């Protein structure tokens, strides 16, 4: 995907979430880096520094461990934001290690450049902070709910509230998010006769 289309995806996201900041938005886009990662590659920059990433294509997973055999604690889909959100918000979220779980294309912007651009209008920075805080709270809330459900209930919950996770995520990765084996997930889907719920 060319740079124009990548940036247009970010503009679409910004408008949908009331984050379009006019001239500041264009300044931020000028500082974005277009990056690609192969499946199973860790999402890191040549010179590590705090960044936010927007997924133009593919799926990314996060874990609190550098070992990818562990469960996933986040799965982020195309058209969503991830990255060093804790650094931007200055809150003690645990460090997450991010990995491409498909071929991935992202736009990256440094926290420093982002804060400098929006810092000239503190209200804009406040709006972005609120959006990211709500987003992370929602992601952690989803995990908290899933941790209390059995496998069938987990599938039903995602089907009702986060269907795109079921649609776009490989079952092997979805199983790691749900904390079950791939075989158990497959068996439960077969028990549903491969049918979504009727409500």
Residue pLDDT, tens place only, 4-15 = 999 999 999 999
Distance CA 189, CA 4 (A): 40
Residue pLDDT, tens place only, 27-61 = 899 999 999 999 999 998 888 889 999 999 999 99
* 3-state DSSP assignment of residue 71: coil
> Count of residues for the chain?
199
Q: Percent of the chain beyond pLDDT 90?
A: 72
* 3-state DSSP assignment of residue 90: coil
Task: Give buried/exposed letters for 27-39 (b at 16+ CB in 10 A, else e).
Answer: bbbeebeebebee
Domain ranges of the chain: 3-141, 151-191
Q: Does domain 3-141 have CATH number 2.60.120.10?
A: yes
Return the bridge partners of 188, or none: none
Distance CA 17, CA 65 (A): 31
At residue 62, does pLDDT exceed 90?
yes
Yes or no: say if 132 and 89 are a contact pair by the CB < 8 Å rule: yes
Yes or no: say if 16 and 119 are a contact pair by the CB < 8 Å rule: no
pLDDT at 9: 96
Lowest mean pLDDT among 142-146, 160-164, 180-184, 189-193: 189-193
Report CA 99 to chain centroid distance, whole Å.
Answer: 11
At residue 165, does pLDDT exceed 90?
yes
């Amino acid at each position: 995907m060319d740079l124009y289309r990548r940036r247009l995806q970010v503009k679409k996201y910004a408008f949908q979430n009331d984050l379009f900041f006019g001239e500041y938005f264009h300044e931020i886009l000028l500082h974005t880096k277009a990056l690609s990662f192969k499946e199973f590659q860790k999402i890191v920059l040549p010179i590590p520094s705090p960044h936010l990433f927007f997924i133009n294509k593919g799926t990314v997973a996060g874990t609190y461990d550098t070992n990818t055999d562990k469960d996933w604690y986040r799965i982020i889909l195309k058209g969503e934001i991830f990255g060093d959100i804790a650094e931007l918000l200055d809150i003690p979220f645990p460090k997450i290690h991010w990995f491409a779980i498909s071929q991935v294309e992202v736009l990256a912007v440094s926290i420093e450049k982002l804060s400098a651009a929006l810092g000239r209008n503190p209200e804009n920075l406040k709006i972005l902070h609120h959006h990211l805080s709500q987003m992370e709270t929602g992601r952690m809330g989803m995990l908290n709910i899933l941790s209390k459900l059995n496998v069938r209930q987990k599938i039903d919950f995602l089907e009702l509230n986060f269907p795109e996770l079921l649609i776009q995520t490989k079952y092997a990765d979805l199983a790691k998010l749900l904390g079950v084996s791939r075989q158990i997930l497959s068996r439960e889907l077969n028990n549903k006769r491969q049918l979504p719920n009727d409500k």
